[in-house]
Structure 1
Amino acid sequence: MERVKKIFVLVHLVLWTLWTLLVILQLSQDDDQWPTLTTGFILTCLLVFYGHFYLLTSYSGKKKKRDYYLRLIAIMLIGPLPFVILHPKGLETWDNSSDYYMMTLVTIVPLFTFLGWLARITENLVLNTIRKEQLEKQAVEAELHYLKSQINPHFLFNTLNNIHTLVYKQAPAAPEAVLRLSSLMRYMIYESNSATVPLLLEMNYLQDYVSLQQLRYKKSPVVDLEVKGDITSCHIAPLLFIHLMENAYKHSPARLEPGDIKVKIEVKENTLTFNIQNPISKNPGNTLEEPGGIGLPNVRKRLALLYPEKHNLEIDNLGEIFVVTLKVHGLHTQAHESEAHLLYN
């Protein structure tokens, strides 16, 4: 906002400099006393212009119309005085003074009164537009922050309980589980604060999540994770896939066989495809909600904010299998600030 105000100040300086040079060029050709004549003329223009400009600033949005009009009339009546006083012939006779005064009052004063109003309205329009969009940006960022924070806390509690059991049994997997939980929490708290993160980090985060969930199962990995394409040079919004993973675990049967949950991630031609499928639980108390509990609505909202018109989300209930396919087009190829549709520096 301060930067925009400085630009307006610079515009004022440039335009007034050009106007002064134009007046000097015109008057210096016709009058030997052009310096004093130019000074009086420019002072009158400045007095009327900025008098009305700052009057509108003081009374912007206020209902004191009577005070406004009284002060405006005073500005217009005082406006011609610098030109009359500094004019070489302005104070020679009463007739000269009144003629120059009325001429300035009728011609110059209305013009620069209008220009002062136009400048104030223009600046207000620009500044209000920027303020509005900054507020919208803050609202978007606040909602994104809220959505990112909605990771199921039960996962953390369950993981801690599982780690406690491993430690109690002095299982060899306990130290590795602690490290993965530490990595997961570090990513959630610190690294995910950026607008975009390397896709590789997001994949590492998902793998840590899957590894910790695997503590619940004694069999081989129940998640078959396949990655295709170059994920090292792409950037994406953080924590975008975690709710899809949570949703898959939540609505799968309690007992999963190895590879029951299939995840495929592919980067091809600047498009990321994330496909996940899981078996549907036969337990009525764990049936799928449409559109799937808190996870899928969260994903939909974030996608709408982060990738408007640049994503496709397909959800299919095939009876025994639930499939979600997400495509994000126009991937970031380097780290930069996501615009979220209306951002400003």
Structure 2
Amino acid sequence: MYTPEQQTIQVNGIQLSLHITGPECGPPVWLLHGFPECWHSWREQIPALVAAGYRVFAPQMRGYGRSSAPAGIADYDLLTLCADIQAGMDFFGHRQVSMVGHDWGAVVAWHLALLEPARVAALVTMSVPFAGRARRPVIEIMRELNADRFNYILYFQEPGVAEKELDADVERTLRLFMQDQDVFLQKKPATAKLFDDVVQPAALPHWCSQQDLQIYLQTFAEGFRGPLNWYRNFERNWQRTEFLAGRKVLQPTLFLIGDRDPVGVFEAHTLKRMPEVVPRLESHVLADCGHWIQVEQAQQVNTLLLDFLMRTPS
């Protein structure tokens, strides 16, 4: 048995906290979490990967928990987030890795595959698909389509607005994110707040114990400013990734999404186009599953993940 060991390293101008475990000689697997999550979101995958002989690296992404949370919005653009992980791979001397990402971590993983075609040997992404660089910033399209109705990404754009709501009661915020995924699909005025008229459930979901919740609470003890800044770089991300336009993800790739994941509604067109830019794609839709796929359907995710990694060794 291996217990994850927390380690903080200096990379890319920040302190990056990681939880590392597994045999030192095992093939390295990086697990990149999304929003609003933390390294502990992979608690069901880490033991399974270690038991299969992998060396696991689960960072607390920039802006989260013990990792640095710079003040500037531009400090959270996509290429900077990728550079954190690239520098982490350099630090540990990784020449080939398997890269796994969920939600925003999937966005970083997709782009790491483009940036590191030799070093990222196998790619696993969950919940957020990829269809290449858009012809214009996605945030412009969102503003056009949602001029008179609420959109959570647009709500996150103005610094301080979403923080005021989410930071007011961090535990309530986390409980609502965990259990009411339909909040992202609600039809309400553009002036509304994220959790208007949303009632907090009495109990935690079956996949999150009180002990698990405490780790999430520790992660967001300083609030949501850093994580929200990831959302404030859509235009900057588009501008800085011009050199990636037209590139395909050529690595063997596994994509997983839940049949009840709101992202499946938002990204329906991207899902259809994904095979065009990911030619070696294997895709699965998990039944009775929402957005928090790796804990909601942990056993099925682990089976698919391990089977894929063992067929595509790094």
Normalised by the size of structure 1, how large is the TM-score? 0.21
Normalised by the size of structure 2, how large is the TM-score? 0.22
| Higher relative contact order, structure no. (Cα contacts within 8 Å, ≥ 6 residues apart) | 2
Structure showing the higher helix proportion among its residues: 1
